[in-house]
């Protein structure tokens, strides 16, 4: 149980385009979803926290207008990287929980490459 | 704000040996959770073990155990009878405990563990 699916797993696109990444909880209702970013050979950094039906809470230094997060249902959150540039290239990972005191369940991540 | 420090960028041991990965953290919170996650080359994040700060007993999961020293803010991971499949990046992580909503994880920089045959 507790499976989180993330799609796509790898995307390559041209600079200036927008890219949407989906994060789905397949067998539980995710009251909260998190988005992390991981640069090569580095740790995961929390970007934002998203609760179903409300606006996401972004960490300091994360541009809200560049990284749009939508959590419209209890099983789906999306991260849209708008007007992507090469410096946005990274590994993006989502996680989800059903109750606040339970461990986060991670998706398999999305490798984003901006040319 | 809380910080998590892993002082060992890389460790290498022989198969079947026991290895201990270090983690220290800093927080002013009294209620929190600590985790060890494993990230193999596939980059999937796998929960290894979790410790609630209010529990004095150290958590164990099969070959994995922790030494949780709350006063010293230390949370080390011991892997017994290490196996080739244990080769991975290991991240120590902190999460505030809160009844008012969930918090994201603060990760350490990670330790690359290599198990040699």
- Cβ distance of A32 and B105 shorter than 8 Å: no
Report the residue of chain A nearest B108, measured CA to CA.
A43
A79 vs B102, more confident: A79
Q: What is the mean pLDDT of residues A52-76?
A: 91
Phi, psi of A58 (to 5 degrees): -95, 145
Q: What is the mean pLDDT of residues B84-95?
A: 97
Q: Which residues of A touch B34 (CB under 8 A)?
A: none
Q: Would you say A72 and A50 are in contact if contact means Cβ atoms under 8 Å apart?
A: no
Return the closest-CA partner of residue A36 out of A79, A93, A101. A93
pLDDT given at position B97:
82
Residues 55-84 of A with CB under 8 A from B: 59
- Cβ distance of B97 and A103 shorter than 8 Å: no
Q: How confident is the model at residue B100 (pLDDT cuts 50, 70, 90)?
A: low
Return the closest-CA partner of residue A38 out of A112, A114, A105, A101. A112
Q: Is A93 helix (H, G, I), strand (E, B) or coil?
A: strand
Q: What is the mean pLDDT of residues B11-20?
A: 98
Strand partners, A45: A37
Q: Is B77 helix (H, G, I), strand (E, B) or coil?
A: strand
- % residues pLDDT > 70 (chain B): 97
Is 70 exceeded by the pLDDT of residue B101? no
The CA distance from B66 to B78, in Å, is 6
Range list of H helices, chain B: none
pLDDT given at position A112:
97
Q: Which residues of B touch A69 (CB under 8 A)?
A: none
Non-local CB neighbours of B96 within 8 Å, separated by 6+ positions: B2, B27, B29, B31, B32, B103
- Cβ distance of B43 and A104 shorter than 8 Å: no
Residues 83-102 of A with CB under 8 A from B: 91, 93, 95, 97, 100-101
Q: What is the mean pLDDT of residues A23-32?
A: 92
pLDDT given at position A51:
87
Q: What is the mean pLDDT of residues A43-72?
A: 92
pLDDT given at position A82:
96
Tokens in use for A68? 């749009």
């Amino acid at each position: 149980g507790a499976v989180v699916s993330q799609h796509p797993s790898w995307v390559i696109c041209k600079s200036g385009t927008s890219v949407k990444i989906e994060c789905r909880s397949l067998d539980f209702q995710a009251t909260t979803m998190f988005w992390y970013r991981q640069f090569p050979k580095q740790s995961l950094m929390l970007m934002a926290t998203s609760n179903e039906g409300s606006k996401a809470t972004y960490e300091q230094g994360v541009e809200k207008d560049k990284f749009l997060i939508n959590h419209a249902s209890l099983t789906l959150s999306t991260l849209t990287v708008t007007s992507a540039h090469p410096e946005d290239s990274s590994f993006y990972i989502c996680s989800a929980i059903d109750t606040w005191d339970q461990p986060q369940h991670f998706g398999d991540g999305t490798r984003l490459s901006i040319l | 704000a809380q910080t998590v420090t892993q002082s060992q960028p890389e460790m290498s041991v022989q198969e079947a040996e026991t290895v201990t990965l270090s983690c220290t953290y800093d927080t002013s919170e009294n209620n929190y959770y600590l985790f060890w996650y494993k990230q193999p080359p596939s980059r999937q994040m796998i929960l290894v073990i979790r410790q609630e700060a209010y529990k004095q007993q150290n958590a164990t999961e099969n070959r994995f155990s922790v030494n949780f020293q709350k006063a010293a803010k230390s949370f080390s991971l011991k892997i017994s009878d290490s196996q080739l499949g244990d080769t991975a990046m290991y991240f120590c992580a902190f999460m505030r405990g809160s009844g008012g909503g969930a918090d994201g994880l603060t990760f350490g920089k990670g330790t690359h563990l290599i198990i040699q045959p």
